[in-house]
Amino acid sequence: MNVQNPEVLDLNYSSTGFNTRLGYGKKPALLLIDLAEAYFREGTPLYHPRFRSALESCVRLQEEAHANGIPVVLTRVELSRSGVDCGIFFKKSTIPLLCFEEGNPLGDFNPLVKVAEKDIVVTKRYPSSFFATPLGPMLTSMGIDTVIMGGVSTSGCVRASAVDTCQWGFRPIVVREACGDRHQSPHEANLFDINAKYGDVVTEADAMNYMATVGKRA
């Protein structure tokens, strides 16, 4: 974050009642957000080298979830060629969103992402993984109380999904290393805000340990 003293800012938030820890619940799902080739292939409007480490972290989380019987949900974006089904969002961000036109291979998952038969793929058109998708009712019907998440970008679809996770009544757990953005400043600012107001930001190691523990209890 572009602040002179992050510790002072953190203390300021904590002293007014923010930064409360939610902790993990008893039944998690892993949500991996928009790991599309458009973010990882050089020359595309959405490419940035910073996204690579987030992708690799997401893959490790997915493997751990699979090993412990934890449901995995992956989101993808697909729009009509006119963008009419994406409304104002398409007008605001036309060039980047053209990567996700129906039939564009840039909208496919990066090859490192191996979608297992039991994984759930949700197609969305807007930043939040919940908006105009069946994700909320689906997680509710599965008895999920905790959503561990990562993906791209931190300041866009991850943040929107974290806020909606909270609004749907699930515990948002955002894995720091599994999120990526085009610049460190919006990345850190949004993680700070999510952690202060909506959910918990944790390390990859912490999330992996929790998933292993839940798996042993199951």
What is the four-CA torsion angle of 180, 205, 191, 93, rounded to 10 degrees? 20
Q: Which residues pair with 200 in a beta bridge?
A: 173
Known catalytic membership, residue 157 = yes
Active-site residue among 99, 157, 166, 179? 157
Could you give the residue numbers annotated as active site?
157
